[in-house]
Amino acid sequence: MKHAIIGASGQVGGYLYRTLTHLGEEVEGTYYRHPDPSLSELDIIREADVRKFFDALRPDVVWIPAAMANVDQCQNEPGESYRYNVLGPRFVAESAVKRGGRVVFFSTDYVFDGLNGPYTEEARVRPIQVYGEHKAEIEGFLLREIPHTLIIRPAWIYSRDENPRNFVYRVLEQLRAGKPIKAVTDQVNTPTPSEGLVKIAWQAVQDGFEGVLHIAGPERLTRYELTRRIARAFGYDANLVEPVTTESFHLPAPRPSNGGLITQYEAYRMEPGRDFSPIF
Ligand SMILES: NC(=O)c1ccc[n+]([C@@H]2O[C@H](COP(=O)([O-])OP(=O)(O)OC[C@H]3O[C@@H](n4cnc5c(N)ncnc54)[C@H](OP(=O)(O)O)[C@@H]3O)[C@@H](O)[C@H]2O)c1
């Protein structure tokens, strides 16, 4: 199969690119602001460039992890968020499907309000910040207009990557510098390892799964518990992690507090050992 990964320079896209390449699939990936010699440049909000890209490539599967994924930036710049999180993915999906490609879009648990998680695929979306609203809007468009779309919703993604976009890396950077780190005790979620996310997503594509699929880690943890586990696993003093509340950060975008995802499709439930090797 021929794959296009739009946003292969990101955390999820990068892991997906390496995994599919390792499996011997034919893969073409794109970057936007972080150049990589193995990838092509593409800005998804330039519709003519998007069309040209798909005219030349004609992939069977088009993965879209590309997004403006900084929740607070989306809140402060809703116009930009709309361009990157709604218009861009729409241009990609429309171009891809016209040329025979199947669309796999990465959405988020932030389409839910976080009042009574964990949520299954059946739960009604009710976003509480701009990022979630825009993800919910593009989900609706893709489900209505783009045949055979697969929408994957992960939550709190982490990996082993030495990259500042990875939460584990950011925690370790602080701890290595001997700095205490504040983590909130009032947000619960299902942290999702990129490794398991990509394995299950690829399985779902091979199975021809269509519609919405929740792919999330098997445990619900607060950000505080998660951060302490990371500290302990890498030999740091977990007491360097200081419990705080979300309110104390004065963030622009509200966060779901009692969130997290669970899938109703047992075949796609994540299991340590089978789908990923736990790192904490
Ligand atoms: N991270 C999480 O905890 C989390 C949780 C739930 C859902 N998600 C969703 O999962 C997906 C992947 O997240 P991630 O953590 O991998 O995000 P990420 O590391 O920020 O990667 C985003 C990717 O999108 C690309 N991109 C941004 N604007 C673009 C544009 N205008 N044109 C083309 N490409 C563009 C970036 O390219 P450059 O880097 O080259 O600029 C990068 O490759 C996103 O849809 C996100 O909303 C993430």
Read off the pLDDT of residues 42-82 as tens digits, 9 standing for 90 and up.
999 999 999 999 999 999 999 999 999 999 999 999 999 99
Confidence of residue 1 (pLDDT cuts 50, 70, 90): very high
Which atom of ligand 1 is the closest one to the Cα of 33?
41
**Residue 206 buriedness (CB in 10 A; 0-12 / 13-18 / 19+):** exposed
For ligand 1, the distance from its centroid to the CA atom of residue 79, given in whole angstroms, is 17
For ligand 1, the distance from its centroid to the CA atom of residue 105, given in whole angstroms, is 11
Which atom of ligand 1 is the closest one to the Cα of 84?
31
Residue nearest to atom 47 of ligand 1 (CA): 69
For ligand 1, the distance from its centroid to the CA atom of residue 218, given in whole angstroms, is 23
Q: State the average pLDDT for the chain.
A: 97
Which atom of ligand 1 is the closest one to the Cα of 165?
19
Largest CA distance in the chain: 55
Mutate to test the pocket of ligand 1, among 34, 71, 157 (most ligand atoms within 8 A of CB): 157
Query: Can you give the pLDDT at residue 90?
Result: 98
Residue 278 pLDDT more than 90?
no
241 CB near ligand 1 (under 6 Å)? no
Q: Calculate the alpha carbon distances from 28 to 39, 53, 56, 121, 142 in Å.
A: 7, 10, 11, 30, 22
Domain ranges of the chain: 2-157+192-214, 160-189+220-258
124 CB near ligand 1 (under 6 Å)? no
Residue 160 pLDDT more than 90?
no
CATH class of 2-157+192-214: alpha beta
Q: Architecture of domain 160-189+220-258 in CATH?
A: Alpha-Beta Complex (3.90)
Backbone angles phi and psi of 183, in degrees to 5: -140, 140
Contact (CB, 8 A) for 228 and 49: no
Confidence of residue 117 (pLDDT cuts 50, 70, 90): very high
Residue 272 pLDDT more than 90?
yes
- What is this structure's pTM? 0.98
Residue 279 pLDDT more than 90?
no
Contact (CB, 8 A) for 187 and 255: yes
Mutate to test the pocket of ligand 1, among 5, 6, 9 (most ligand atoms within 8 A of CB): 9
104 CB near ligand 1 (under 6 Å)? no
| Percent of residues, the chain, with pLDDT higher than 90 | 96
The CA-CA-CA angle for residues 48, 13, 175, to 5°, reads 135
